[in-house]
Structure 1
C-alpha cells in the first residue's frame, strides 16, 4: 500500500541527515514529506539537497511558525489528497527511532491507528532530566484522568490507516499546537476507532533544543481545562 512519512521541522539542520540515514535502512518503500516552519539554520537547504538526490522526498515550506499541530494537519491533508493509504508521523529531533516503523505498519493492518507509548517500557525516558520526566508524567496522568482515557496521547510518533480513518475525524481536533495530539486521539477514541499502542524507548534530544516553551505548556493546560469542562457538560462526540 502507498505509504508516506510526514515530518514537521523547525531548525533541525543537524538532525536531518541522521534521521534520513536511519530511514534509508528500513526495507520499506515510502515517500517522505517535510513540513518546515521557516527554519533559519539551513534546514530548508538540507531538505532541498536531499530532495534533488531522492525523488521520494517532498517538502512544504511555510512562511512562519504556525504550530506543530498545524503542520500535522497539513501533512494529513496532503496524504489524503494524494491517496496514500498509510500515514506515519514523527519528530525530526532524533527522539523517534525509525526502527519502530515496520512494527507500526504491521499492526496498522488490524487497527485504525497505532501510537507509541513511553510508559509501557519502564526505562523509556530514563535519560531525561528529572524536571522533564516529572512534567511529562504529570501531563500523561492529568490528560488520562480528565478525559477518562488510557493512552499516551501527547506523542507524535504514529501510524494512521487512511483506509479506515476518515479525514474529517482526525481534523476535528481544533488545536494547532501541542494539544492537537491528545485532542485527536480523544476524538478518535470517542468515535470508536480501534487504537493500539506499542512500547518505545524515547531518548532525550541529543542535538539542538526543544521547541516547547513555557507559554506552550501554559497554553496546553488552559486548553485542556476548557476542553474538560466542555466535555463534562456537553459531551464531545
Structure 2
C-alpha cells in the first residue's frame, strides 16, 4: 500500500458472528495493516474471540474496555491507543461488514494522492450507494446529512458516514480530549472539527452494505439526538461569528 503504518479500529459489542470474517477480509484486501479490536466487554464472548485472533496473528491487537459506552467512546479509546503506538494513519471501520474492506485501498489512495487530512467513505457522492437499506432509512440518512450541511455550513455529502481514514496528525490537532459526542453526532463532530481547523477532507464513493448477521445498534432516537446536537452547535457557531463581526 504505502510505507505508512496503518491501524484499522473495529469497535465491537456482541459481534462474535462477524469479527473473524471482517478481520480476514481486512487482511485479504490490505495485508500490511494492523487491526485493533476495541471490545466493550461483549456478553457474547467477542473479546475472547478477539484474543484468540490476536494470539495467532501479530497484526491483530485487542483493547478490552470495561463496558458498553457507545461508539464514540470506543473510537476515542482506539485513537488514543493508535496515537500512543505511533501509527501514521488510523481508520474507523464497522465490525458488521457494512464498511467493505475491499474499498479501503481507495480511501488510502485518496489520502496519499490528494494529500488529505481526512478521507470519508461516502454513500452520497457520485458512485456511492447503499445496499439492503429500506427506503425509509435512506431518506432519513440523506435528510440528516442535508440538515447537517445547512446548519453547519460544511459541504460534505456524507458527514455522518463512519468509514473514515485519519492521519494521526489530524487527530492530534482536533482536541480529542474535548469530544463528548457519540454515535452519528460523533462522526459529524470530528468532520466539523477537521474542516474548521482548515484541514482537507476528501470524500470517496463506497458501497455501504446492510449487515447480514447480528443486530443493528442504530435507532431513530440516536439520529434525533444527532440532529438536535448539530443544530445546537451550528446555532452557537453562527451566533459566535455574528458577535465577532459586530
| TM bin (shorter chain) | over 0.9
Q: Number of aligned residue pairs: give it.
A: 235
- Aligned 1:112-191 pairs, distance under 5 A: 112-121=117-126, 124-151=129-156, 152-162=158-168, 164-169=169-174, 171=176, 172-191=178-197
The Cα offsets for residues 66-124 of structure 1, whole Å up to 9 and x where unpaired, read as: 11011111111111111110111111111000111112222212111111110124671
Distance 2:133 2:26 in 1: 24
CA RMSD of aligned residues (A): 1.8
Q: 2:225 aligns with which of 219, 222, 237?
A: 219
Q: 1:5 aligns with which of 2, 5, 8?
A: 8
Structure 2 residue runs of 5 or longer lacking an equivalent are 242-246
The separation in 2 between residues aligned to 1:117 and 1:123, in whole angstroms, is: 6
Gaps of at least 5 residues in structure 1 are none
> Does residue 85 of structure 1 match 2:91?
no
Structure 2 partner of 1:66 = 69
CA gap 1:50/1:178 in 2 versus in 1, 3 angstroms: same
SS of the equivalent of 2:103 reads helix
Q: Indicate the larger mover: 178-187 or 19-28.
A: 19-28
Measured after TM superposition, the shift of residue 133 of structure 1 is 1.0
Query: Which position in structure 1 is the counterpart of 2:244?
Result: none
Give, in whole Å, the separation in 2 of the partners of 1:17 and 1:74.
21
* Structure 1 length-normalised TM: 0.92
Deviation at 1:4, TM superposition (A): 0.8
Of stretches 193-202 and 204-213 in structure 1, the one that deviates more from structure 2 is 204-213
Kindly report structure 1 stretches of 4+ aligned residues shifted beyond 6 Å.
none
| Aligned equivalent of 2:99 | 96
Q: Deviations over 1:177-219 (max 9, x none)?
A: 3311011101110111011110011111111111123332232
Whole-Å Cα distance in 1 between the matches of residues 185 and 195 of structure 2? 15
Q: Equivalents in 2 of 1:27, 1:76: separation in Å? A: 20
When normalised by structure 2's length, the TM-score is 0.89
Q: Residues of 2 paired with 1:191 and 1:9: CA distance?
A: 30
Name the SS for the 1:25 alignment partner.
helix
Structure 2 CA distance for partners of 1:225 and 1:18, relative to 1, 3 Å:
same
Asked whether the equivalents of residues 10 and 37 of structure 2 are also in contact (C-alpha less than 8 Å), the reply is yes
Distance 2:208 2:101 in 1: 12
